[in-house]
């Protein structure tokens, strides 16, 4: 299944978007192994930094592009479709196409990859008059 931002943006809730992106990987499973240096070259390159800014602006700096979930710390740009060494070396569309990228917080990024929903952000509970009163 190829995941796209255009499909993701049709999903209304944060939970639906998370389920769409969830990969449920295995902690410690190597994606780049000894070729990890390619990630560093990619993520420090000028084209990537420019694209990263475009994605942050498009998503309004919000987790999974959901307005109520502003990211207050470091913003990660998540590849919705896992990339490989070959994708980076060939400059594949999977690497630089904005339709395959979305903003995430660190914890959401970990939850997507490793399936730990306990890491997902929670909105504050909406309070109502007397909702903490034990006799009502």
For the cut 70, the answer to whether the pLDDT of residue 43 exceeds it is: yes
Token output for 99: 């339709």
Q: What is the pLDDT of residue 34?
A: 66
* 76, 104 Cβ separation under 8 angstroms: yes
Question: pLDDT-based confidence at 29, cuts 50/70/90?
Answer: low
For the cut 70, the answer to whether the pLDDT of residue 25 exceeds it is: no
Query: Rounded to whole angstroms, how far apart are CA atoms 53 and 58?
Result: 9
Q: What is the pLDDT of residue 136?
A: 61
Q: How many CB atoms lie within 10 A of CB 56?
A: 15
pLDDT in tens, 70-114: 999 999 999 999 888 899 989 899 999 999 999 999 999 989 988
3-state SS, the chain, equals CCCCHHHHCCCCCHHHHHHHHCCCCCCCCCCCHHHCHHHHHHHCCHHHHHHHHHHHHHCCCEHHHCCCCECCCCCEEEECCCCCHHHHHHCCHHHHCHHHEEEECHHHHHHHHHCCHHHCCCCCCCCCCCCCCCCC
Question: pLDDT-based confidence at 22, cuts 50/70/90?
Answer: very high
Question: pLDDT-based confidence at 20, cuts 50/70/90?
Answer: very high
């Amino acid at each position: 299944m190829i995941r796209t931002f255009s499909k993701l943006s049709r999903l209304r809730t944060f939970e639906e978007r998370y389920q769409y992106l969830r990969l449920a990987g295995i902690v410690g499973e190597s994606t780049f192994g000894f070729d990890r240096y390619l990630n560093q070259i990619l993520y420090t390159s000028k084209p990537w930094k420019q694209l990263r800014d475009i994605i942050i602006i498009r998503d309004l700096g919000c987790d999974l592009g959901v307005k109520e979930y502003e990211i207050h710390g470091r913003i990660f740009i998540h590849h919705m479709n896992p990339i490989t060494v070959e994708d980076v070396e060939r400059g594949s569309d999977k690497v630089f196409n904005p339709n395959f990228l979305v903003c995430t917080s660190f914890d959401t990024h970990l939850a997507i990859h490793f399936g730990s929903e306990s890491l997902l952000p929670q909105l504050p509970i909406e309070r109502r008059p007397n909702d903490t009163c034990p006799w009502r």
